[in-house]
Structure 1
Amino acid sequence: MKNKLLLFLALLIHVCVFSQSPKEIIDSLKTELTKNPSDSIKVKSFSDLCWFYRTVSMDSAFFYGNKALELSKNTKNENGIAQAYNDIGILHYTLAEYNEAMGNYRNSLNIRKRIKDTLGQASLYNKMGLCFQNTFKLDSAIYYNTRALEIYEQQNKLKNASALKGNIANIYRGLKQYDKALKTHLEILETAKTIEDYPMMTRSYNNIANAYLHLQDTLNSKRYFKQGIEVAKTHNLYNELGALYNNYGSLLASTGQMQDGIDNILKSLSIRKKITDNQGIASSSLNLGDLYLRMGEYKTAKGYLDEGIKLAEQYNANELRVNGYSNLSYYFAFNKNIDSVQYYQRKYKLVEDSLFNNRITREVAEVQEKYNANERENQILLQRAELAEKERDISYKNNFILGLVALAVVISLFGFLVYNQQKLKHNQLKK
């Protein structure tokens, strides 16, 4: 009866989540706690408050996460302890405190191993992989994502497995291993077709097309963009369709089909405005501004650039801001407005330097990893050389000693023969 009640309450909360804002959910959870529920319900409520406060107040999120952990420990609720460590780890991850996040994830993982919660383990392996990915330890990121992937595949959780594969493919792309990224995206596409998951299918078409672009295969890239667009249109997948039109339009423009490119990006912009995809609107607007600038339609270009820059600044989309500032400086150069040229060049340089520093940090971390590995290899080789030198010294000494022993034996034998001969002569003289 108790389990049924817990299940009912969990389902009730799950349904409410989709119809309430975080603030409303927080208020309802606090109201539930005033009714003096059982300890297990309290733990669940504290855990949920930790989760929903994450986007409202980090201090409150940590407060309720620690309350869930404390009560779970006091009542020996191992599921609650594991969940609390998991939730607190997520808070640290959100704050980019990756060492603290990993410590909590490991604590949760140890418990989930003990209680044989395999899907919980997979979720933690995935989160640990993300920590390594964000600290540029990409080999470790692949290792932990692969551990999670193995569990999801064993449990036949194909959607989870495909999401993990997508993350692994992105890591391969970061390592510039585009063949491996392409192979992984093609595997995801086959899974999406098998389970008829059309959003996953359209994202796969988009990712495959982009992977072919990295491999400079524009024919296959165009083919997969077109297939993705058809699936997205058929199933009214507007988020995916907006991205596909934008990317396909950029590809067409880069191959000289300027007007076709603009037409596709205009379709993307229209869709993204309908669904209020603000970062998408910024991307499509800046793409259009760039293309109209190249076509010499400066007034039209300026309108799209202004719209894109405003949204890119609002949402801290730095890659988009760099492109936008660069194009605005070209626009003002054409209009011989030197002050504005210098203004946007300064803004461009400021953001570009920030991006450059981030890239340098990542590359230094990767080089340091490689240096450490090479240093270890060099130390091993040096140790081997020293051992070989010592072995040669020992061998030389042994050979020298053996030579001395042999010489001593020869001298002793010669002396013995001389002694016997003298003794024989002495005996003969006696006779």
Structure 2
Amino acid sequence: MHSFYRFLGICLFVLSTQDLSAQTTSELLDSLKTELSKAKTANDRSLILSELTWYYVPVSQDTAILFGKENIEVAKSLDNPVMLAQAYSDLGYANMEKGELIEARKNYQQALELRYETGDSTKIYGTITNLGSVYQRDFQSDSAMVNYLKALSFFERSGNDRNADFIRNNIGVIYLEMRNYPKALEILLEVAAYRKAQNDDYNLAHTLMNIGNVNKNLKEFENAEKNYLDALQIFQAEGGSDYYTATTFNNLATLYNALGKSELAISNAEKGLLLAEKVGADYDYALIESNLAISYSDLKEYPKSKAYFLRAISHFKEQNAENDLATMYLLMSPVYAALGMPDSSAYYTKAYSELNKKLTEQEIQQLTSDLEARYQSEQKDAAISRQQLELRNKNFQLYGSLVLAAVLGLVGYLLYSQQKLKNNQLKQESKLKVALGQIETQNKLQEQRMLISRDLHDNIGAQLTFIISAIENLKYFDPIKETLTHRYDSIADFTRQTITELRDTIWAMNSGQITLEQLSARISDYLERAGISTQGITYDFDVDKQLDPNFHLVSSEGIQIYRIVQEAIQNALKYAYPSIIQVSVLSDIQGIQFIIKDDGTGFEESKIKAGNGLYNMRKRAEELGGTLEIQSEAGKGTAVKLTLPNKLA
């Protein structure tokens, strides 16, 4: 009941692999603060502040946030987008754990923008995963699911099974929160199987707890009991897991109370109580006391039940756990009635009614406050935009009023729709189905593209190869050998060229995305083949080391660049009679440059008739959003320069 959400394991992309005791954590934090006081460079300070932010989150979230904000200022002074992105990500983690979800989302979005600039795909999709976690904690399940599915697709493609497993776990928890128990069970069982195969017992135990909660809600009580006991066995075997062992005992007590097995419930609750007291888990201690109170009430041992209820109430008040207090007031009323104390029974019934009313009002106020905070954030951005837009057109001021009206209308709508939350859940499930359908459609399109490329390779490629073989045989047919041999050679060469271009197209179709390193390798192979077929010509190829070899291009962009390089080289071979052809890939202030240079005869572009080759190169450059420049002079060679904008660099 009240302990249910204690075991919804929402995973973050960057997970601490250390299981530190409170003393070890304290020593680590003291050590980091000592290192910070001795740090001599801003770079060292930023690295230490990042660690302090991370490790302070379970100790003091306010302190973690202070270190996180300090780190952002230090990282900004470094002009290093990688470290600044990490600083925003650490602060996002601290804000999320504190419940400052609007700030957390803003931090992660700032980290994401920087990581798009650096091009680190793993960090990009890790941040997208963490954004999904923020949305999930804000009960925006549809937005959480969209982010999770986007990241899951990447990690599955890149073979990162561990991160894919974290995301599947979070998706399973979403279905559990939305009470879609069959779907939650399906996904969580898959996660459990993976973690068992990886011998990841610690995370397996948390998954088993979630599976137990699913089975409990499905009234599969025997399965739930087995899940809890299996998790308990793992936690007891793991060193330093007293806290999770205590909470597992409490879950078993809750289950046995639901089954009317009060003696078993008491036995497990008492074990959990000792461990909770040992690790200082005050809130969980109060939860276990409430389970003992329920057990003794079911056994009609009302004095003991009353004593545990009063202790639980005292501890819940210390924790400001008002929802649990309301539950205690409701359950205590019949205990006092059974003890023949009608005044006390009426008192707690009234206390429950008043507290429940207060909690409902607080929930509405919280919804309004969250919306107002979002509105204030949007207003700040809108104010900056209006200052710029007013210089162009004062009429745009109307948009500010429209935004205000829309937000105020939304506030009214939220208050009105407080009683319709169940219907909203159904709408969210519908949105999730749409999102899943879109992913499925994308996968089907990818499969179709693979089928097309395979057909091109197996059918058309095979037929062209057969044509070449037939032509080679016809060259030795005596009656027409002398007359048509040169025509056969021409057709065979054309067919071979067609096969090469077909292979290049299949390569691009299969890739989806290609790296700069893969494109460079393709160009290098082409130059090597050209060197074999054309004697007396030297081919050089050079790539600027400042360029990131792992930078990704859309496959259609890569094949366009490759065709321009091919065409430039073929033109040089046909018309310029060069001794050297040099291809360079350079980092440029405007973006990236591909330069194809020869020492051939050159030409004056104004005195020649442009053919399809030059037209095609310029057309391809235009489609890429770049420019093509040809520099040539009669007798002094030619240079073809393809310049692409920063978005491809």
Calculate the TM-score normalised by the size of structure 1: 0.69
Choose which of 225, 236, 242 in structure 1 pairs with 2:246.
242
1:345 and 2:349 are equivalent in the alignment: yes
Unmatched tracts of structure 2, length 5 or more: 1-19, 368-417, 431-649
What residue number does 1:302 align with?
Answer: 306
CA shift for structure 1 position 172: 0.9
Instruction: Check whether the contact 2:265–2:292 (CA below 8 A) recurs between aligned residues.
Output: no
Q: Structure 1 residues 259, 316: CA separation in 2 closer, same or farther (over 3 Å shift)? A: same
What residue number does 2:216 align with?
Answer: 213
Q: How does 1:117-136 map to 2 (within 5 A)?
A: 117-136=120-139
1:253 and 2:239 are equivalent in the alignment: no
Q: Which has the higher helix share?
A: 1
1:213-242 alpha-carbon deviations (Å, 9 max, x no partner): 222222322333343344444556543433
Q: Structure 1 residues 164, 262: CA separation in 2 closer, same or farther (over 3 Å shift)? A: same
Choose which of 22, 26, 44 in structure 2 pairs with 1:20.
26
What residue number does 2:339 align with?
Answer: 335
CA shift for structure 1 position 333: 2.9
Q: Hey, what's the Cα distance between the residues in 2 that align with 1:93 and 1:261?
A: 35
Q: Which has the higher strand share?
A: 2
CA shift for structure 1 position 153: 4.9
CA shift for structure 1 position 123: 3.4
CA shift for structure 1 position 90: 4.0
Secondary structure of residue in 2 paired with 1:216: coil
Secondary structure of residue in 1 paired with 2:26: coil
Instruction: Check whether the contact 1:178–1:215 (CA below 8 A) recurs between aligned residues.
Output: yes
Choose which of 31, 44, 59 in structure 1 pairs with 2:37.
31
Q: Hey, what's the Cα distance between the residues in 2 that align with 1:103 and 1:111?
A: 13
CA shift for structure 1 position 28: 1.9
Q: Structure 1 residues 210, 26: CA separation in 2 closer, same or farther (over 3 Å shift)? A: same
1:337-391 alpha-carbon deviations (Å, 9 max, x no partner): 45543443344234433554577767756756978999xxxxxxxxxxxxxxxxx
Choose which of 323, 328, 343 in structure 2 pairs with 1:324.
328
1:75 and 2:78 are equivalent in the alignment: yes
Q: Hey, what's the Cα distance between the residues in 2 that align with 1:352 and 1:227?
A: 37
Q: Hey, what's the Cα distance between the residues in 2 that align with 1:57 and 1:240?
A: 21
Q: Hey, what's the Cα distance between the residues in 2 that align with 1:370 and 1:220?
A: 28
Q: Structure 1 residues 106, 242: CA separation in 2 closer, same or farther (over 3 Å shift)? A: same
Q: Hey, what's the Cα distance between the residues in 2 that align with 1:41 and 1:159?
A: 30
Choose which of 273, 276, 280 in structure 2 pairs with 1:276.
280
Q: Hey, what's the Cα distance between the residues in 1 that align with 2:250 and 2:201?
A: 19
Choose which of 202, 205, 212 in structure 2 pairs with 1:202.
205
Instruction: Check whether the contact 1:192–1:201 (CA below 8 A) recurs between aligned residues.
Output: yes
Q: Hey, what's the Cα distance between the residues in 1 that align with 2:86 and 2:357?
A: 40
What residue number does 1:405 align with?
Answer: none
* AA aligned opposite 1:24: D
Instruction: Check whether the contact 1:189–1:201 (CA below 8 A) recurs between aligned residues.
Output: yes
* AA aligned opposite 1:225: Y
Q: Hey, what's the Cα distance between the residues in 1 that align with 2:230 and 2:425?
A: 40
Q: Structure 1 residues 158, 346: CA separation in 2 closer, same or farther (over 3 Å shift)? A: farther
CA shift for structure 1 position 289: 0.4
Q: Hey, what's the Cα distance between the residues in 2 that align with 1:61 and 1:249?
A: 35
Calculate the TM-score normalised by the size of structure 2: 0.48
Secondary structure of residue in 2 paired with 1:120: helix
1:103 and 2:106 are equivalent in the alignment: yes
Instruction: Check whether the contact 1:243–1:280 (CA below 8 A) recurs between aligned residues.
Output: yes
Q: Hey, what's the Cα distance between the residues in 1 that align with 2:259 and 2:429?
A: 42
188-197 vs 255-264, greater mean Cα deviation: 255-264
208-217 vs 351-360, greater mean Cα deviation: 351-360
Choose which of 292, 295, 313 in structure 1 pairs with 2:296.
292
Secondary structure of residue in 2 paired with 1:196: coil
